[in-house]
Amino acid sequence: MKINTPDFAHNIDHNGIKLFLAFMHRVASKRKEKEFEGHRYYIHASDVKYFVQNDVKTPGVYFGGYEKYFTFGKASDAMWMFEWKQQPTASQLEYDEPHLTAVWGYIIARDMFSDLSEDIDNGKIPEEQTRRINNIPDRQFFRYFGMK
Strand pairing of 117-120 and 130-133?
antiparallel
Contact 5, 21 (CB under 8 A): yes
End-to-end CA distance of the chain, in Å? 31
Number of neighbours of residue 21 by Cβ within 10 angstroms: 25
Longest C-alpha distance within the chain, in Å? 44
pLDDT at 44: 80
Domain residue ranges in the chain? 2-133
The string of pLDDT tens digits covering residues 28-79 is 887 666 667 777 788 888 788 888 877 777 777 778 888 889 988 888 888 8
In this predicted structure, what is the pLDDT of residue 140? 54
Reported as a single tens digit per residue, the pLDDT across 103-115 is 888 888 777 766 5
Residue-averaged pLDDT of the chain: 76
CA dihedral 141, 145, 146, 148 (to 10 degrees): 20
User: Does 120 score more than 50 pLDDT?
Assistant: yes
